[in-house]
């Protein structure tokens, strides 16, 4: 199998992740619920993961690292905290349904700014204008469909300039690019644990610049006589027993990323992107690619006259795992003019080799000939 | 040796305080707060045995001091004390 769908889930994990999950399952009980060793072991693991995430993602207080079930959960929490019916919200033209559906459900007044692919300067100009009338902005750091790296340092500076609260979707960037809560001064930054951070599915992180409003209410292991959630983070936003086994795996994933370094991981994935582009150039495929520095390790492509889903199915039969269709991001496809056809997406990971990418590309070329 | 408890409203607050104290060289443990000391129910405490005044000062400097310090008395009861 050649796995090229890490933008959905990083299937290949460090061995330490699997070991940590198993160890947690065997030895850890509920954190913050008991006064015995198995409970404290769980609590220590959960807190260690908060600390590791805070260090990697530049958060000055580990209490501001909230565990969620995925990025979608974190984005819902962030959006429900800041957006009310009619709130003017600016988004980029590359947002995932995890952003646009909660905004739609709340009844936000959504304005899309910056729709041209791999055009960061144009996007910044659009945002500078759109933010004048906005209260909240939600923006992905990297497009999950095209790997377009949005200029988050500059976007966050624009939000501060206009006094607009910023929610960042770091689903495709956490573990690959610098995610810097302190620099951005964002209200919230949401991310999954199961993609670039190399943790198990069912894990996610929400970094909180603000206290936020709970999406769920329930037991927190603290202040049990009170009928409101504890006022302080993270218990304020974490109701019910956390996914301790998942968090133990996530801690191992974060430690791997921290040891390897996001710069090296990005450089490796960038090299794989270049390998794919070199293999597929002059093939007649439409390759969606940008200038140096504007694209992560994600490549969308289209074969004229061929259905992307059928092409992906043919590759799956040969053991190549790619994702086709709209990638839960119709807004991004609309921006790129691929809403009707969808695209076939290859996405890379730290464990993938150049040889695997070349082989997958060769199989793809066989299919289109 | 006398045992002291610094009580916190949540586990994470206790963990943060414990980390600060550990990094400053204190030997501490986190434990459940005795029910009679926890007016809102289910709290956590950091237990330590010495240099409690300096520990309290350190937590104040870090914005982690809750103002709730108890000493374990010979009769097994806890008494609130000033650091």
Chain B interface residues facing chain A, Cβ-Cβ under 8 Å?
A: 9-13, 15-16, 19, 30-32, 39-44
Q: Which residues of A touch B20 (CB under 8 A)?
A: none
pLDDT at position B42, please? 86
Of A115, A163, A167, A160, nearest to A138 by C-alpha is A167
- Does the pLDDT of residue B66 top 90, yes or no? no
How close A33 gets to chain B, by Cα (Å)? 8
- Domain B4-80: CATH architecture, name and number where available: 2-Layer Sandwich (3.30)
What residues of chain A, 13 to 42, have a C-beta less than 8 Å from chain B?
31-32, 34-35, 40
- Quote the tokens at residue A113: 């700014």
Cβ-Cβ contacts under 8 Å for A66 (sequence gap 6 or more): A74, A77, A205, A206, A207, A208, A233, A234, A237, A238
For the stretch B17-64, pLDDT in tens is 999 999 999 999 999 999 999 888 889 999 999 889 999 999 999 999
pLDDT at position A357, please? 98
φ, ψ for residue A56 (rounded to 5)?
Answer: -65, -35
Q: Which residues of A touch B15 (CB under 8 A)?
A: 43-44, 47
How close A43 gets to chain B, by Cα (Å)? 8
- Domain A15-260: CATH architecture, name and number where available: 3-Layer(aba) Sandwich (3.40)
- Does the pLDDT of residue B83 top 90, yes or no? no
pLDDT at position A106, please? 98
Mapping DSSP to helix (H, G, I), strand (E, B) and coil, where does residue B47 land?
strand
For the stretch A62-101, pLDDT in tens is 999 999 999 999 999 999 999 999 999 999 999 999 999 9
Residue for token pair 């956590």 = B44
How close B41 gets to chain A, by Cα (Å)? 5
How close A62 gets to chain B, by Cα (Å)? 8
pLDDT at position B50, please? 84
How close B44 gets to chain A, by Cα (Å)? 8
Mutation test of the interface with chain B: which of A222, A230, A233, A242, choosing the one with the most B Cβ atoms within 10 A? A222
| A232 with B40: Cβ contact below 8 A | no
- A to B CB pairs, distance under 8 Å: 58
- Contact of A225 with chain B, judged by CB distance below 8 Å, is answered with yes
| A63 with B12: Cβ contact below 8 A | yes
b/e map of A250-275 (b: 16 or more CB within 10 Å)? Answer: bbbbbbbbeeeebeebbebbbebbeb
Cβ-Cβ contacts under 8 Å for A179 (sequence gap 6 or more): A56, A57, A58, A141, A168, A170, A173, A189, A191
Regions of chain A with pLDDT less than 70:
none
Complex ipTM value: 0.90
- Does the pLDDT of residue B2 top 90, yes or no? no
- Does the pLDDT of residue B1 top 80, yes or no? no
Q: Which residues of A touch B62 (CB under 8 A)?
A: none
From the list A35, A225, A235, the residue facing B10 with the nearest CB is A235
pLDDT at position A33, please? 86
How far apart CA B59 and CA B67 sit, in angstroms, is 10
Domain ranges of chain A: 2-10+261-368, 15-260
| A234 with B12: Cβ contact below 8 A | yes
Instruction: Please give the class, per CATH, of domain A2-10+261-368.
Output: alpha beta
How far apart CA A224 and CA B77 sit, in angstroms, is 23
- Contact of A290 with chain B, judged by CB distance below 8 Å, is answered with no
| B13 with A63: Cβ contact below 8 A | yes
pLDDT at position A48, please? 98
The C-alpha torsion from A218 through A223 and A229 to A232, rounded to 10°, is -130
| B16 with A35: Cβ contact below 8 A | no
- Contact of A219 with chain B, judged by CB distance below 8 Å, is answered with no
The model's pTM: 0.96
| A232 with B30: Cβ contact below 8 A | no
pLDDT at position B39, please? 82
- Quote the tokens at residue A187: 């209200």
């Amino acid at each position: 199998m050649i796995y090229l769908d890490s933008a959905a889930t990083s299937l290949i994990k460090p061995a330490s992740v699997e070991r940590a999950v198993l160890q947690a399952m065997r030895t850890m009980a509920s954190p913050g619920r008991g006064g015995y060793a198995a409970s404290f072991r769980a609590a220590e693991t959960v807190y260690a993961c908060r600390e590791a995430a805070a260090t990697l993602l530049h958060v000055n207080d580990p209490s501001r690292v909230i565990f969620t079930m995925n990025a979608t959960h974190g984005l819902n929490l962030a959006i429900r905290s800041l957006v009310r019916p009619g709130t003017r919200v600016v988004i980029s033209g590359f947002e995932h349904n995890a952003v646009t559906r909660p905004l739609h459900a709340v009844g936000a007044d959504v304005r899309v700014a910056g729709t041209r692919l791999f055009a960061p300067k144009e996007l910044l100009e659009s945002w500078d204008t759109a933010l004048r009338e906005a209260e909240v902005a939600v923006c992905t750091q990297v497009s999950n469909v095209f790997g377009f790296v949005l200029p988050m340092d500059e976007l966050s500076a624009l939000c501060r300039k206009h006094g607009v609260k910023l929610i960042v979707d770091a689903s495709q960037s956490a573990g690959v690019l610098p995610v810097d809560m302190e620099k951005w001064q964002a209200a919230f930054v949401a991310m999954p644990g199961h993609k670039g951070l190399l943790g198990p599915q069912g894990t996610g992180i929400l970094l909180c610049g603000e206290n936020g409003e709970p999406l769920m209410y329930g037991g927190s292991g603290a202040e049990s006589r009170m009928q409101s959630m504890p006022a302080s983070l993270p218990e304020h936003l974490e109701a019910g027993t956390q996914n301790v086994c998942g968090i133990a795996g996530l801690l191992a994933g974060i430690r791997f990323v921290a040891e390897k370094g996001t710069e090296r991981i990005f450089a490796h994935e960038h090299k794989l992107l270049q390998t794919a582009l070199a293999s597929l150039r002059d093939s007649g495929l439409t390759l969606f690619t940008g200038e140096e520095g504007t694209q992560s390790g994600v490549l969308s492509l289209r074969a004229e006259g061929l259905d992307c889903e059928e092409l992906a199915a043919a590759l799956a039969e040969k053991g190549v795992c790619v994702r086709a269709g709209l990638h839960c991001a119709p807004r991004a496809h609309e921006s790129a003019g691929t809403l009707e056809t969808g695209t076939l997406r290859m996405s890379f990971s730290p464990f993938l080799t150049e040889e695997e990418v070349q082989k997958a590309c060769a199989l793809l070329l066989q299919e289109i000939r | 040796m006398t045992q002291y408890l610094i009580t916190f409203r949540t586990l994470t607050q206790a963990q943060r305080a414990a980390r600060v104290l550990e990094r400053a060289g204190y030997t501490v443990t986190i434990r459940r707060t005795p029910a009679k000391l926890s007016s809102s129910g289910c709290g956590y405490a950091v237990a330590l045995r010495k240099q409690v005044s300096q520990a309290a000062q350190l937590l104040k400097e870090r914005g982690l001091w809750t103002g709730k310090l108890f000493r374990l008395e010979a009769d097994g009861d806890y008494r609130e004390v000033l650091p």
